């Protein structure tokens, strides 16, 4: 399954057209996203120590995400931008509202949620390339392969945790994800909806 088959919609043109004017916000929020992705992987490792495949994949993912964080910081500093705290977008919290509270459903849903976040990141990297300068666009082009692998890893782990397909959970998260991406959003962020 490709990322475009998995995601319920493409990034709206209104978001893509706004991105170049908000490059500092985009890059700083991207750095935060990479850091949070590493933290999420490590949290999963902490909470599910009995799952060997999860341990292996999340350890590798955490290292890659931290490396990406360092690379984004280098671009931010090279442009004399300030890496700073920012209010997060509604996106990840909105997806997590769908996560079940008890096991084993909680793990399955956390992994499906991770698959959507990674898939949307990858889709946005690809969509942004023609809208950005060569340095940032080239960097995003280089990130595509690892982000696509992260999406597949999360989905495979979700299926393993569920002992079978997770189509019903994917459909539920897809509905929420489409709402978050295609409706007006008060903040411009890497995963935000239509600028409102």
- pLDDT band of residue 158 (cuts 50, 70, 90) is very high
Q: Cβ(139)–Cβ(147) under 8 Å?
A: no
Q: 122-138, pLDDT tens digit by residue?
A: 999 999 999 999 999 99
Q: Distance (Å, rounded) from C-alpha 139 to C-alpha 102? A: 39
- The per-residue pLDDT for 146 is 79
Q: What is the pTM of this model?
A: 0.97
- The per-residue pLDDT for 196 is 85
Q: Distance (Å, rounded) from C-alpha 73 to C-alpha 167? A: 37
- With pLDDT > 70 as the criterion, what percentage of the chain qualifies? 100
Q: Tokens at residue 171, please?
A: 């459909």
Q: How is the chain split into domains, by residue range?
A: 13-185
Cα–Cα distances in angstroms (integers) from residue 30 to residues 22, 41, 141, in the given order = 12, 17, 14
- The per-residue pLDDT for 33 is 97
- pLDDT band of residue 172 (cuts 50, 70, 90) is very high
Q: 71-117, pLDDT tens digit by residue?
A: 999 999 999 999 999 999 999 999 999 999 999 999 999 999 999 99
**What long-range pairs does 187-190 form, CB within 8 A, spacing at least 24?**
187/87, 187/89, 187/90, 188/18, 188/22, 188/25, 188/26, 189/25, 189/29, 189/86, 189/88, 189/89, 189/91, 190/26, 190/29, 190/30, 190/33, 190/89, 190/121, 190/124
- The per-residue pLDDT for 148 is 83
Q: How many CA atoms lie within 13 A of 42 on its CB side?
A: 11
Topology given in CATH for the domain delimited by 13-185: Ferritin (1.20.1260)
Mean pLDDT of the chain: 96
Q: What is the dihedral of CA 32, 143, 68, 66, to 10 degrees?
A: 90
Q: Tokens at residue 64, please?
A: 């890659």
- The per-residue pLDDT for 147 is 80
Task: Identify the three-state secondary structure at position 80.
Answer: coil
Q: Distance (Å, rounded) from C-alpha 187 to C-alpha 97? A: 19
- The per-residue pLDDT for 10 is 98
Q: Residue 45: name the closest of 114, 99, 131, 129 by CA.
A: 114
Q: Tokens at residue 120, please?
A: 């949307």
Q: Is the pLDDT of residue 1 over 90?
A: no
The backbone torsions φ and ψ at residue 194, rounded to the nearest 5 degrees and listed phi first, read -65, 130
């Amino acid at each position: 399954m490709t990322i475009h088959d998995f995601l319920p919609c493409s990034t709206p043109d209104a978001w893509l057209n706004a991105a170049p004017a908000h490059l500092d916000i985009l890059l700083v929020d991207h750095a935060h996203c990479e850091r949070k992705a590493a933290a999420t992987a490590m949290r999963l490792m902490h909470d599910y120590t009995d799952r060997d495949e999860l341990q292996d994949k999340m350890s590798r993912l955490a290292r890659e995400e931290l490396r990406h964080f360092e690379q984004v910081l280098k671009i931010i500093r090279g442009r004399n931008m300030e890496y700073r705290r920012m209010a997060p977008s509604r996106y990840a919290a909105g997806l997590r509202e769908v996560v079940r509270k008890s096991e084993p459903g909680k793990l399955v849903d956390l992994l499906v949620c991770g698959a959507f976040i990674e898939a949307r990141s990858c889709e946005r990297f690809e969509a942004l390339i023609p809208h950005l300068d060569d340095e940032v666009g080239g960097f995003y082009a280089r990130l595509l392969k690892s982000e696509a692998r992260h999406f597949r890893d999360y989905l495979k782990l979700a299926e393993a945790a569920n002992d079978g397909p997770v189509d019903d959970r994917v459909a539920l998260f897809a509905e929420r994800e489409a709402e978050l991406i295609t409706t007006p959003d008060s903040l411009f962020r890497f995963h935000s909806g239509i600028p409102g």
